[in-house]
């Protein structure tokens, strides 16, 4: 029954590893509160009433290698439906930090695939695949803004790297069907975002971020509203991205890729992005291939690895 309480609930625990469990048909899948150094890995979490995985007031935890789908079965009641939810929206001051979210596969959620709430900091999202969501707000990955303008909260310290997001839609009238939505300072690189309803990456600047959003080596293709949405006069440091037609970046076309129609966005031999980038301090690509391999850095999420 998706109205039942929790599949796994912790409060006041520490240094626990949850490995290889199957959690389904409960209201909240894995709910970790005021519990530090907890790892949830290799679990299947599915058919959940609200959010599937949650850290709340819990530091230095990890969600690794989980399969997460069919979250938010109670969305019609106005309840949460995130795949992975870090922090709190309903309680100010939840500064959950040091969380690692790596290698999870998330689909069919009714809210963000991964959401980092506005008071969290120093979290790392890497190597996750998120697809086929119909959400309310933000994007498949959402770095949220806090509820008030505090200069200390502008730069989150979050790192969003090597994630793949596609086929993200929204059930609202707003432009919220995005691959990534970044609303605080963060370092965002080597992400692939394609085939989404609105933007590949959307950046909002309600906090006047002053260039604290760093966008390097991302690939954005065939997104309905364009590759990159910039709002509130935001000016990110954007370099070596494939998609946006901005200085230091390159507009993307299908012939640059091995098989764009089939979802293979490795660079085709001889294509324009190869060796066309600059050194932005990123030393590997989405798959861990060293950068650079040729005479220069390649644009986009993949470094050309052919001969």
pLDDT in tens, 250-261: 999 999 999 999
C-alpha to C-alpha distance for 111 and 58, rounded to whole angstroms? 21
C-alpha to C-alpha distance for 140 and 109, rounded to whole angstroms? 9
Query: If you average pLDDT over residues 207-221, what whole number do you get?
Result: 87
What is the model's pLDDT at position 210? 66
CB atoms within 10 A of CB 269: 10
Burial class (CB in 10 A: 0-12, 13-18, 19+), 172: exposed
Percentage of the chain exceeding pLDDT 70: 94
In this structure, are residues 275 and 298 in contact, taking their beta carbons and an 8 Å threshold? yes
228, two tokens: 């990159």
What is the model's pLDDT at position 279? 97
What is the model's pLDDT at position 192? 98
CB atoms within 10 A of CB 306: 12
C-alpha to C-alpha distance for 66 and 101, rounded to whole angstroms? 10
Percentage of the chain exceeding pLDDT 90: 84
pLDDT above 70: residue 209: no
Query: If you average pLDDT over residues 11-15, what whole number do you get?
Result: 97
Provide the pLDDT confidence category of residue 230 given band limits of 50, 70 and 90.
very high
């Amino acid at each position: 029954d998706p109205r039942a309480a929790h599949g796994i609930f912790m409060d006041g625990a520490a240094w626990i590893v949850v490995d290889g469990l199957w959690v389904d048909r409960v209201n909240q899948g894995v709910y970790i509160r005021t519990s530090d150094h907890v790892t949830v890995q290799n679990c299947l979490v599915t058919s959940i009433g609200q959010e599937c995985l949650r850290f709340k007031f819990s530091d230095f935890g990890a969600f690794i290698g989980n399969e997460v789908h069919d979250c938010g079965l109670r969305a019609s009641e106005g309840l949460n439906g995130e795949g992975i939810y870090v922090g709190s929206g309903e309680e100010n001051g939840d500064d959950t930090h040091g969380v690692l979210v790596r290698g999870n596969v998330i689909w069919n959620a009714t809210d963000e695939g991964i959401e980092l709430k506005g008071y969290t900091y120093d979290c790392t999202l890497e190597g996750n695949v998120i697809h086929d969501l119909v959400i309310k707000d933000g994007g498949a990955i959402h770095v949220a803004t806090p509820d008030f303008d505090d200069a200390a909260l502008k730069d989150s310290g979050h790192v969003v790297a090597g994630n793949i997001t596609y086929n993200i839609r929204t059930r609202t009238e707003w432009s919220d069907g995005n691959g990534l939505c970044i609303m605080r300072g963060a370092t965002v690189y080597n992400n692939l975002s394609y085939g989404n309803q609105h933007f590949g990456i959307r950046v909002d600047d309600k906090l006047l971020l002053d260039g604290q959003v760093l966008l390097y080596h991302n690939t954005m293709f065939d997104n309905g509203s364009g590759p990159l949405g910039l709002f509130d006069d935001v000016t990110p440091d954007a370099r070596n991205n494939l998609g946006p037609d901005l200085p230091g970046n390159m507009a993307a076309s299908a012939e640059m890729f091995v098989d764009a129609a089939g979802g293979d966005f490795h660079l085709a031999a001889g294509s324009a992005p190869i060796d066309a980038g600059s050194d932005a301090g990123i030393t590997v690509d989405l798959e861990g291939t060293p950068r650079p391999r040729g005479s220069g850095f390649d644009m986009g999420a993949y470094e050309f690895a052919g001969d």
